[in-house]
Each structure stands twice: as structure tokens, then as C-alpha cells.
Amino acid sequence: MIAQLTGLASAIEADRCIIDVNGVGYLVFASTRTLEQLAAAPGAVRALIETQVREDAISLYGFAESAERDWFRLLTTVQGVGAKVALSILSALSPRDLIAAIQAGDRGSLTRASGVGPKLAIRLLTELREKAGAMPAGPGFSPVLPAPPQGPAADAVSALINLGYRRPEAQAALDRVTARLGEAEPVERLIREGLRELAR
């Protein structure tokens, strides 16, 4: 079961994209909200994945934040709401807007989503009214990977890891060294001082 993909987003269309993970392209269906965030990311992205397996297909649905994924799971428990309609709802309304619409009984906001008519909107309001307040409003997840640390201190940490030290202890030692000497020191000196810290 695929739960998350990390790679480059490409071939972004209206309701889907391809996430290239080490040369393997995964077709991922997503809301326009998620696709916009993935398209805006300059490099590698992460997408939370909901995998649905049927007799005739395995489909992947991607989300930029955990709140949207949780809402997708809840929406698809409502009769008449499949994955496509759930993504349509999440394209029209953010998790925060969904909570507000359901709590206010705002049928009009729900019918803005493609595939949601008045009857389905009423069913959504009825079945989800008690559950909406406990749902996350987001955002709780960022699809943009942080840039890897750079500079002499980061190089020194990498060197200590290559010497057999674990990252947390190497990072802690270099943090103490750079607090004392500053980060402008040559990497060779940072490594030496880091080894002294680790030997204590």
C-alpha cells in the first residue's frame, strides 16, 4: 500500500499529475488545490497518498496536506460520493471552508462542486454535521521539501556521519562548536573541533 511519494511532479493536468520517483512515474489524481501546490514547488515534492484497489484498477490519490486526505476519507464514506466527487468537493472548498459550510448548513457552497447536486448536498450536510467539528481544518503538511543544509557546518556534520557517528550526536557536537567559534570557520577545523566534542 503506497502512503506517500517523494519525487518530481510533472505532466500536471486538470485533475492529475505524474510524480517521478527515481525514474518511475506514478499517476496521481488530486484536487486542483493540491495540484497548484505541487506545480509551484521548485524541486522535489512530497504527496500523501490514498491507494484504492479495485478489481480492474489500482488508483492513487494525492494530497498536499493531511487535513485534505482525512476529509477525502470521510467524504467517500457518504453514499453517492466516490473518489472523483470527493476531489471535486476538495477543489471547490478547503478543509476549513468545508467545516464552516457543513456547520452552517450551507447547501449552496457544496453544490459549487462538480457532481454535487441539491440532494447529495443535503445528504452531506446531514451525515457529516456531527463529524465536521472534529475534523482538521489544515494546513498540517507541506509538500515542499526543505532545502538541504549547506555550508561548512553541514559538510562537517556529513564528515562526522561518514566516520561512524550518528546524525543526532554529530549535529549536536557541531552545534556546540559553531556556537563557540561561529560558522565561518574552515570545514577542517570544524571537523577537528567536532571530534573533540564527541570525545568528551
CA distances from 74 to 7, 67, 90, 124, 137 (A): 27, 11, 12, 10, 13
* β-pair partners for 25: 20
Domains and CATH numbers, the chain: 4-132 (2.40.50.140), 152-199 (1.10.8)
Confidence of residue 21 (pLDDT cuts 50, 70, 90): very high
Q: Give the burial string for 59-74 (b: 16+ CB within 10 Å, else e).
A: ebbbbbbebbbbbbeb
Question: Which pLDDT score, from 0 to 100, does residue 85 have?
Answer: 96
The predicted pLDDT at position 184 comes to: 76
**pLDDT exceeding 70 applies to what percent of the chain?**
93
pLDDT at 167 over 80: no
In the predicted model, is pLDDT for residue 143 greater than 60?
no
Q: Is the pLDDT of residue 4 over 90?
A: yes
Query: Predicted confidence band at 115 (pLDDT cuts at 50, 70, 90)?
Result: very high
Q: Cα–Cα distance between 165 and 160 in angstroms, integer?
A: 6
Across residues 59-74, what is the average pLDDT? 94
Percent of the chain surpassing pLDDT 90: 44
Given a cut of 90, whether residue 170 has pLDDT beyond it is: no
Own/partner contacts of 98-103, CB < 8 Å, gap of 24 or more, are: 98/71, 98/132, 98/135, 99/132, 99/133, 99/135, 99/137, 102/128, 102/129, 102/132, 103/129, 103/132, 103/133
> Is residue 141 over pLDDT 60?
no
The alpha helices in 24-105, defined as continuous H runs, are 32-40, 66-75, 83-92, 95-104
What per-residue confidence (pLDDT) applies to 149?
A: 62
Please give the average per-residue pLDDT across 152-172, as a whole number: 81
Average pLDDT value for residue range 3-23 = 91
Average pLDDT, the chain: 87
